Chains A and B, each alone.
Chain A
Amino acid sequence: MKIAVCVKQVPDTADIKWTENNTIQREGLESIINPFDMYALETALKLKDREQNVNITTLTMGPPQAEEIIRKAISLGIDDGFVVTDKKFAGADTAATGRTLAAAIKEKIKEVDLILCGQFATDGDTAQTGPAISVNLNYPVITYVKEILSVENNIATVKKEVEDGTEILKVKLPAVLCMLKCDYEPRRPLIKGFKNAQKAEIKFYGLNDIGLEVEQVGIKGSPTYVSKAFRPEQKQGGEIFVPDNADDAVNKILEALNG
């Protein structure tokens, strides 16, 4: 079974500081693999632990520095990976990103059974890239996936979390699955993993390698664009009470509930 996992480099939420112009202060900012993508990687690795002949490739679209997160993924046990990078990809919205990743998968991985993505990216939070990839490849998609229960005879059985409960769904492969936070935690790299990551040859592919035209990618290939970005009024912490006793505290809360 061939699995592709799409990952994104995002700024570490806990680290984000804002400049006066409402842009993120990039200096000193740690980049991490999007937390939801970590669950997608872990889910793929779990399948590899459990089944024979599973091969996992990870890919990311981003600046050349995104190589770092591909190496990180390899340190966890992913077989190989590549970076889809080109100045012409800049400014891509989810539609253009989905198209670009789909083209890269088609051209560079070719035969694939399962494509895993994170349900959201913590910076953009659009949840649209996975479904966009699926439509471009003409594969079915399931979003909000909590767990892959089994893969047998080219059919995956998955748990999907919805507002009122859990759905068990069967999907014919190849398919795209978008992963939520799972009930298991992503593994940590072992020494061997670090070594593999260091040795690994990471490939870089640009527009010419993936068979798309310049009008289909980046800002040109994006039907949406940002007209304005602003920071909402930040909440100033309200009053803090140090009540004399519990009754005092209760009264304060009742006041707040009614007010």
Chain B
Amino acid sequence: MAKGILIYAQTDRNGILQNVVLELAKTAQDLSQKLDNCEINAILFTDGTNLEENKNILSKNGFNKVYIANSLKLKQYSTEYYSKITVDLIKNITPEIFLIGATTQGRELAPVVATTLNTGLTADCTKLDINEKGQLASTRPTFGGNLMATILCKNYPQMATVRPKVLKKAENEIIKNTEFIELDFDLSTIEKHVELVEFIENKQLADVRIDEAEIIVAGGKGMKNQQGFELLQELAQVLGGSVGASRGAVDMKLADSSIQVGQTGKTVVPKIYIACGISGAIQHTVGMSGSDKIIAINKDKNAPIFKVADVGIVGDVFEILPKLINKLKG
């Protein structure tokens, strides 16, 4: 019988465990209580980098067992390698639930694993619960957050990818006598079709990545030119945040498309979103209306952005932003 919760312990390029793993770990604690305190386990891929540190963190976040796939060949993420090893483990330990962070990596790995196992997967969830029948109830936004759907799964494991930064990490350590189990696998039997040739780091406009930022200062066409975006960059810097952009600004080449927010860009949920010179077209607001607090500055008092803003300021960004930056620096 399927039992226990398995979590994909994603690490980044430098072997650092991703925050979303700890968010999943905390949620798994809550789910486990409704499932006879079932085990919470993790699968970790590593080439050895930062391994001791990661084991240490996992054991303080309530994991019973951590299955470790350790090989120099696993340094680079590979859907083909990672999915094969994950599928084999799942067939072996038959978890009831398998949770993965809804990162670019997780959203490629998860559907490959789910399809291979012929089970169901709910994408990009913002809430997980156990229903009265003991099933995983995964809630996710659709239509850009206009409709929420709670989805159940008929097969095992019940799988979900979960949006980073929405669920909370544990506030206190949950220390477990974690068992670390090295996995046995043979990569030579797997035909690898995809190879990484090169990685080019993002040229973001601030030190903080947009998907991790608590504060996003976003600009639209109203920022007019490069100097306008330099103001945003400065503001983001003093606030410790990141810079985002509307499609209008991206089309004007004021910002790189990797920081576009909206339907054809990124969905962001920072604590504070400051929209500067953005009109607030529906295709933009579907990507940011989930932010905790939205501050909008626009000189047009009828701009639709004010419909989603908690605090709307009718005014000129070129008069307001320099003063705001000075005040914050002062």
Contact = CB atoms under 8 A, between A and B. Distances in A.
Contact of B314 (A123, A143, A237, A243): A243
B313 A125 contact: no
Interface string A188-219: 00000000000000000000000000000000
Interface of A is mostly: mixed
B168 interface: no
Interface residues of B, number: 87
Given A127-B123, A141-B79, A250-B324, A227 B137 contact: yes
A28 interface: no
A140 B193 contact: yes
19 contacts: A95-B118, A125-B124, A128-B110, A140-B79, A140-B80, A163-B104, A167-B200, A172-B194, A181-B264, A181-B265, A223-B119, A223-B155, A224-B120, A229-B147, A237-B307, A238-B294, A241-B313, A254-B327, A257-B239
B211 interface: yes
Contacts of A162: 104-105
Interface string B210-224: 010000000000000
Interface in A146-195: 157, 160-172, 175, 180-181, 183
Nearest to B281: A14
Nearest to B303: A240
Nearest to A140: B193
Interface string B135-170: 001000111111111111111000000000000000
Given A162-B105, A222-B120, 16 more contacts: A14-B281, A18-B146, A24-B143, A95-B115, A123-B142, A128-B111, A131-B108, A131-B115, A143-B104, A161-B258, A163-B209, A165-B201, A166-B199, A181-B257, A237-B309, A240-B313
A230 B147 CA distance: 6
A62 B159 CA distance: 26
Contacts of B172: none
A167 B147 contact: no
B interface, by DSSP: helix, strand, loop or mixed? mixed
A27 interface: no
Given A225-B154, A240-B312, A230 B301 contact: no
A167 B198 contact: yes
A54 interface: no
A95 B120 contact: yes
A230 B112 contact: no
B320 to A, nearest CB: 5
A249 B320 contact: yes
A223 B118 CA distance: 8
Contacts of A168: 196-200
Interface in A92-116: 93-95, 98
- Most interface-central of A16, A130, A135 (chain B CB within 10 A): A135
Nearest to A246: B319
Contacts of A35: 263-264
